[in-house]
Amino acid sequence: MTPGQRRWIFLAAMAGLAAFYLWGLRGLPGFGNYPGPYGDIINSIAVAQTKATGVVSAVNFEYRGFDTVGEEFILFVAATGMAVVLRRLRGERERNPDDPTADWAVPPASDAVRLVALIFTGPVVVMGWFLASHAQTSPSGGFQGGVVLATAFFLIYLSGQTLLFRRVSPVDLTEAVEALGAGGFAAIGVSAVAMGLPYLKNYLPLGSTPGAVSSSGTIALISFFVGLEVAAAFILIVGEMVDQTLLVRQGDR
């Protein structure tokens, strides 16, 4: 099939899809006329039931917590899959990233990039921990916090410190943290079963003040573990990519 034919088939199919979609839209309530009822019900009961004022987190880590376990393990499996797909193939060896004599050495990061990385690394770590530990109160949670936390490590890499990036996030340690995060979430669920409660039942004291950092029982704890898992998974994923830039294939040089 030539690219031209491919394009015409696509345009015909897309016209059909658009026609059906617009036809289907006629039966939907218009934008802004939310029909409910689930969102409204959860909004009205979540704060009293869970003592969490961030209802999105309450949904993620409590009402549909079982789904979130599965989702967290998608990330876990993806990081593992990266390691498998990007394993060192026969005939590949690793360069020393800080060997100044090699002619493949990348030019050092500019002063502007290094300064920005230096200024932002600390605040980004604080921001990440803040987000991961305040799922129950404000628009935040383990997923967002974990990604922000991982960004701090990428800033170190961006500033040209490949070796330092590896020293502050050694692969073994990062993998252990990832396993702790993923396993911690699942273990909270299983511990409820051990007490004769449903899986992932929120059995910890909820606290009396909605929105306090210590409130909402397992929601805060799960968010913490998710933060660990997400940060470690993204560091591993980017670390795998970084390692690829250090590989030389036999025959290349």
Partner 1 sequence: MHIVPFVVVVWILAVGLYGIVTSRHLVHLIMCLIVVQSSTYVLLLGVGYKTGAVAPYFYDIPVHTPAVDPVVQALALTDVVVEGAVTALLLALAIQAQKRFGTLDPHELVQLKG
By beta-carbon proximity to partner 1, the closer residue of 58 and 156 is 58
Q: How far is the CB of 9 from partner 1 (least distance, A)?
A: 8
The answer to whether 236 and 171 are in contact (CB under 8 A) is yes
Helix (H) or strand (E) holding 201: none
Paired with 94 in beta bridges are 247
Give the distance from CA 118 to its chain's centroid: 24
CB-facing half-sphere around the CA of 243: CA atoms within 13 A: 20
Site membership for partner 1, residue 235 (CB under 8 A):
no
In the region spanning residues 19 to 58, those forming contacts with partner 1, defined by CB under 8 A, are 21-22, 25, 28, 30-34, 36, 38-40, 42-44, 46-48, 53-56, 58
DSSP state letters, 198-221 = PTT---S---SSTT-TT-STHHHH
For 132-158, give the DSSP string.
HH-TTTSS--HHHHHHHHHHHHHHHHH
Q: Does 241 bind partner 1 (CB under 8 A)?
A: yes
Number of residues that bind partner 1 (CB under 8 A): 64
What residues line the site for partner 1 (CB under 8 A)?
Answer: 3, 6-7, 10, 14, 17-18, 21-22, 25, 28, 30-34, 36, 38-40, 42-44, 46-48, 53-56, 58-60, 64, 67-68, 71, 74-75, 77-79, 81-82, 85-86, 89, 137-139, 141, 143-144, 147, 210-211, 230, 233-234, 237, 240-241, 244, 249
